[in-house]
Structure 1
Amino acid sequence: MTKTTNTLAVALIVKNEAHNLEPCLQSVDGWVDEIIILDSGSTDQTLDIAKQYTDKVYIESDWQGFGKQRQRAQAYVESDFVLWLDADEQVTPELKESILSAINSQQTNTVYYVNRLSRAFGKEIKHSGWHPDWICRLYKTSEAQYSDSLVHEHVLVPSTHQKVYLDGVLKHNTFHYLHEYTAKTNQYIKLWSDQREGKKSSSVLKAISHALFRFIKMYILKKGFLDGRHGLVLALLSANVVFTRYADLWLRDYVKRQS
């Protein structure tokens, strides 16, 4: 294990991730100081797998959104730095060395971004706006935290802090099959609408125009066509998600006005 002058925790929020969790934990096992896992009510073998790698496994099943759940998980972290992972992600050896170098660099007022490379339906997606995919995942525990957002939560980076981009990639094994994509995005669509209901207006025209722009952006502007059939399918699926979001918001408002 590489010696560090600062301590490092890995934190995850999970639910029913038995099919993903072990490769994720294997990628950080032995070189981080603690692993924090906050479960929101798994009914599969997630907890059994988690306990093979850490004794810091907690359950908070009163779900209040992704942002709040990450804040809760961070409250259990004792280390100087926290590295956030999702259960379907794995740290590569090059990224590991970049992370260890970063936490020992003694840089102040700094947050660190990692480049995520996602695999969808059996193929790594290198265009379509999916890659490069820089996300803030590493920072001093005492200096930052996640937003309150129900979905699409993000790290609240202090204005005083610089952003450093780490070498290596974070492997992201996202959807294998179409039903996995629809199950996950349906959850996100609801949370997106919940967060904006009564605050944001919508219409059928907005639903169509936003969906069309999403397709053009992903498939043409972000060169999704270079990802082959996968790029086409992902652009169509993403456009459908955008249409459904705005249509759902419009229908909610219509139902409310009719009641």
Structure 2
Amino acid sequence: MNQPTLAVALIVKNEEKHLAACLDTVHGWVDEIIILDAGSDDRTTEIAKQYTNNIYTNTQWPGFGPQRRLAQTYVTCDYVLWLDADERVTPELKVSIQEALQNNPDNTIYKINRLSSAFGQFIKHSGWSPDWLVRLYPTHLTQYNEAMVHEKVEEPQGITIKKLSGKLHHYTYDSLHQCINKNTKYIKIWADDKEGKKKSSLSTALLHAFASFLKMYVFRLGFLDGRRGFILAWLTMNNTFSKYADLWLRSHSNNQ
């Protein structure tokens, strides 16, 4: 029996800084690379063309989940491995992926342990690690859900989930400015999605914010990540407050 074919799929926008380094870690051993661009105005598509002809565009942004679902419609291989442009497949993970395809068990999808860095340091606590995500699966078996943000792969009933060895390295934030800008976008997306569906108040915002700091810095051992762990916990607290405050402000925008 022939080994199943493998595609790598990415949704991107303005990723000229990271894209080549990401694709270098999969180029030459996967069968297909699928890029769905959301309307980049930098060199992203120019770089992508050095690795694949399978480059598509959808500038009518539907949210992260729907965009991934659209990208999967262009995949022709038996399996799909999902990456973000700021991620890198390590040699150990590559071997584990290839072994999974060689075995090719029925009704099985795979989780990958992502190790993320922030401000020049890998974060090994703070709730960031371990970070097991379903990223490899047979294309006929499942797909991402419809969530606008924090999308996940759907897990059909009766499916087997296995963990792969090796890490997926994730280079999140190089600077505080980049981190704040990215989080601001997620705050808006979250509030857009929850508006009219979820109630909020200032006391709710404060309670959730304080709880998020306590959970990340104390219970999830963020203090072991040093000063960066404190910064990340503080930023998370601020982001959490901003999400719920934004939701409250929207519902009271016409009130004095």
Is TM-score (shorter-chain normalized) higher than 0.5? yes
Matches within 5 A, 1:1-12: 5-12=3-10
* Alpha-carbon offset, residue 104 of structure 1: 1.7
**Matched residue SS, 1:154:** coil
Structure 1 segments (4+ residues) deviating >4 Å: none
Q: Name the counterpart of 2:162.
A: 164
Q: Name the counterpart of 2:122.
A: 124
CA distance in 2, matches of 1:57, 1:235: 37
Matches within 5 A, 1:224-239: 224-239=222-237
**Matched residue SS, 1:104:** helix
**Matched residue SS, 2:247:** helix
Q: Name the counterpart of 2:83.
A: 85
Q: Name the counterpart of 1:67.
A: 65
**Matched residue SS, 1:174:** strand
CA distance in 2, matches of 1:106, 1:19: 35
* Alpha-carbon offset, residue 159 of structure 1: 1.3
CA distance in 2, matches of 1:236, 1:45: 34
CA distance in 2, matches of 1:110, 1:244: 39
| Corresponding position: 1:194 with 2:192 | yes
Match of 1:37 among 35, 40, 50: 35
**Matched residue SS, 1:242:** helix
What is the Cα-based RMSD across aligned positions, in Å? 1.0
CA distance in 1, matches of 2:104, 2:54: 27
| Corresponding position: 1:114 with 2:112 | yes
**Matched residue SS, 1:63:** coil
CA distance in 1, matches of 2:217, 2:146: 32
**What TM-score do the two structures reach when normalised by structure 2?**
0.98
Give ranges in structure 1 of 5+ residues lacking alignment.
none
Q: Name the counterpart of 1:19.
A: 17
**What TM-score do the two structures reach when normalised by structure 1?**
0.97
* Alpha-carbon offset, residue 106 of structure 1: 2.4
**Matched residue SS, 1:90:** strand
Letter in 2 for 1:205: S
CA distance in 1, matches of 2:161, 2:111: 7
Aligned pairs, how many?
255
Map Cα deviations across residues 12-65 of structure 1 (whole Å, 9 max, x no partner). Answer: 000000001011000000000000000000000000000000000111111110
CA distance in 1, matches of 2:157, 2:26: 30
Q: Name the counterpart of 1:185.
A: 183
| Corresponding position: 1:248 with 2:222 | no
Letter in 1 for 2:172: T
Q: Name the counterpart of 1:212.
A: 210
**Matched residue SS, 1:58:** strand
* Alpha-carbon offset, residue 72 of structure 1: 0.6
Q: Name the counterpart of 1:175.
A: 173
**Matched residue SS, 2:252:** helix
Give ranges in structure 2 of 5+ residues lacking alignment.
none
Map Cα deviations across residues 99-136 of structure 1 (whole Å, 9 max, x no partner). Answer: 11112212111110000000100000000000000001
Letter in 1 for 2:166: G
